Chain A
């Protein structure tokens, strides 16, 4: 079966399901009742403006943070209610690429990638060394094994983070803005890597991004989170073609990258004056 083909019973190949997810900070709902499903083999792209809650959503999906309410079913288990042991078992099945890399500063690049292998596989050290080299080759960093993260550029760190997330050959990959801060060639390399992983190896990917070109290149399914007045809701969801055809002005402004539109980047003239004149 090709990973992208739809099965007759769609619910059986759901890998991740989010139900009525709410996350509020100090009474402000950043995520407000989200519902969506990610199926096996999909490249599920989550888009949205800066500060709309993409990283927050991802942190909840990987069990790093408990939501205010709602449930997240990962491989069929509700991780919001799972015990630490159950969570650890689930965590071996996915990899996470953090927005800012989250590399271990005291270790070299090679040791960073080797760590999950040393901890969770019975592979012997010479083989681990080889796997590390292979993963570095995948992200275009051959020969950087002995560099410390502090000796790398931001974009290089991101790619090491991706290599580390792929170290255990996970079934599911979470990636938080894998291409921001990369040059066009490296963006294409990382996109190609995501494509290869999903199309060839059958990895399911949940990718956060606001680089529209990159989104349309890799996505098989897209979801747009709202910000500003529509904070916390899902603006649109569907295949890339459905998203392109969606007439929602909010979505269209984002997809085309225009300054004018319903996404308020500045206050209106009246609101601005009111805001300035407010006491305190």
Chain B
């Protein structure tokens, strides 16, 4: 059989399993690079704003708090050993490798994953998805792909931003509470992490973004049975996303720890 990107677009006929959803998203993105008009920048931008930018305040608040918490918790233990000077290292490493990606992803699940599942589910119930199909507009291309691209771009950006805010939280505790000089904090926090620490966090973030958006879209597009079904899909999207994020985090951390 001849292989083409187009064959991915309708893989599996009218059924939509999770695997097929992924295949079709991939197909449309690859197809979109070869042909203009398939990936619409204005739609991607509006999704970036709706599912990314609007979640930034909440993600920032959580990151700031985590910065505070990390610095305060570690200061009691490290202080006993006279290792106060390692607090900035600890704050920046934990944020970059683990807590930044994880917490921002969980905020985005609650804020944007649920919204996407509810929105697509409501469209399904209102026959809007059906109407798109009848107009020969593929719902995956028109609804899912812009959201997918938007989150794949925005989650890493928000994570890096959240990391910076978290470092500010740690700085506030170290300088204002423990009297550490600002220059010392900044030097330690910036010098200790290597590029790989940032990258490993970003790899996790990309995987989390994929999990969040595909599960939300899958749950939304498969809603059956009115408003009750929309509620169920939204709950499932949040629960399964968080579950898979934590499983993926464990696997990735294990990979980075044992193999690299």
Contact = CB atoms under 8 A, between A and B. Distances in A.
A62 interface: yes
A120 B122 contact: no
The secondary structure that dominates the A interface is loop
B127 A91 contact: no
A104 B10 contact: no
Interface in B1-53: 6, 9-10, 13-14
A64 B133 contact: yes
Interface of A: 62-64, 66, 83-85, 87-89, 91-92, 96, 98, 100, 102-106, 115-116, 119-120
Contacts of B128: 102-105
Interface residues of B, number: 20
Given A102-B127, A102-B128, A105-B128, A119 B10 contact: no
Given A66-B14, A98-B127, A102-B128, 11 more contacts: A64-B134, A84-B13, A89-B136, A91-B134, A96-B131, A96-B134, A102-B126, A102-B127, A103-B128, A104-B123, A119-B135
Contacts of B138: 88
B84 interface: no
Contacts of A88: 136, 138
A83 B12 CA distance: 11
Output the residue of B6, B123, B130, B131 with the most chain A CB within 10 A. B131
Contacts of B137: 115-116, 119
Contacts of A85: 6, 10
A87 B123 CA distance: 22
B127 A100 contact: yes
Contacts of B9: 84
A106 B123 CA distance: 9
The secondary structure that dominates the B interface is helix
Nearest to A98: B127
Contact of A104 (B13, B14, B131, B136): B131
Given A83-B10, A84-B13, A105 B136 contact: no
B131 A102 contact: yes
Given A84-B10, A85-B6, A105-B126, A98 B136 contact: no
A100 B142 CA distance: 22
Contacts of A120: 135-136
Contact of B130 (A66, A89, A102, A105): A102
A91 B13 contact: no
A226 to B, nearest CB: 26
Q: Which 7 A-B pairs have the closest CB atoms?
A: A102-B127, A84-B10, A102-B131, A88-B136, A91-B136, A96-B134, A116-B135
A116 B138 CA distance: 12
Contacts of A100: 126-127
11 contacts: A84-B10, A84-B14, A85-B6, A88-B138, A91-B136, A92-B136, A98-B127, A98-B131, A102-B128, A103-B131, A105-B126
